[in-house]
Structure 1
Amino acid sequence: MGLNFSGTIDRAQHPEKYPEKEKGPTFDPLYGFADGRKPKLAPYSEEEMQTLNIPLDKRDYCAHYFRAIMLCTQQYWPSQYGYCEPERHAWEQCQIKSKLDDAKEYERELRLRRRQLRKEETTNRALAHQELSNNEE
């Protein structure tokens, strides 16, 4: 419980240290990847998801798994719970992987931001030290 509050206090006192999730990545997504990154593409376009009647809150990278659940539910209604469990499990695993990828991206952004702040602080200290030594002479 104390760790949660200390993180919140630090975030309130030093907002520049923490990335804002809503704004997305501020650093180059390919920075640090020599061979590039595999792009994360949605399986359906927005129009296709609208045509397939996928609910708004399920329109993400796991929409194709949710579509499989919808089809299975239609096929095995009203006893779909036992039959559609593999589809539901696949969708849940996709959701977990997606949230894990988001968390990794946030941590990467956090590390790069703190690294940038450390570099700026080091440069400012060096300039201040150089200025002091010039004033003493």
Structure 2
Amino acid sequence: MTVTEFPPLLSEEDLQKYKVPLKWRDRCAAYYALYKICLVRQSANSSIVCKQDKHSWEECENLDFKRRQQELSELKKTMKEESSA
């Protein structure tokens, strides 16, 4: 599965319910929560594999990082144009 869009944002109640740490409360928190749920299930049943959930979460984080880089470069470009005008 390739992540091309961000999942809907989790509510504050869901973030607390799934015990998502503050540093991972971003656009990819839903994937993180799915991965953590899978890990809990895996600890109870060793036949469950969470590789795909982890990959989806990491792919989403990478996509979000690229989005933030793009926004920063656009902001820098705008600020440079405003200062030279």
- TM bucket (normalised to shorter chain) is 0.7 to 0.9
List gaps (5 residues or longer) in structure 1: 1-39, 120-137
Once residues 48 and 73 of structure 1 are traced to their aligned partners in structure 2, the CA distance between those partners, rounded to angstroms, is 17
Query: What does the per-residue CA deviation read over 1:87-106, in whole Å, with 9 as the maximum and x for residues that have no partner?
Result: 00000000001111111000
For residue 43 of structure 1, report the CA deviation from its aligned partner.
1.6
1:117 aligns with 83
Larger Rg: 1
Identity, % of aligned pairs? 24
Q: Which has the higher contact order (CA 8 A, sep 6+)?
A: 2
Once residues 93 and 64 of structure 1 are traced to their aligned partners in structure 2, the CA distance between those partners, rounded to angstroms, is 13
1:53 and 2:40 matched = no
* Aligned with 1:101 (options 53, 63, 67): 67
1:126 aligns with none
SS at match of 1:43: coil
1:63 aligns with 29
SS at match of 1:83: coil
| Runs of 4 or more consecutive aligned structure 1 residues displaced over 4 Å after TM superposition | none
Q: Normalized against structure 1, the TM-score is what?
A: 0.51
Once residues 74 and 101 of structure 1 are traced to their aligned partners in structure 2, the CA distance between those partners, rounded to angstroms, is 31
For residue 74 of structure 1, report the CA deviation from its aligned partner.
1.3
Contact 1:66 1:91 in 2 (8 A): yes
Once residues 108 and 83 of structure 1 are traced to their aligned partners in structure 2, the CA distance between those partners, rounded to angstroms, is 40
1:3 aligns with none
Contact 1:65 1:87 in 2 (8 A): yes
List gaps (5 residues or longer) in structure 2: 1-5
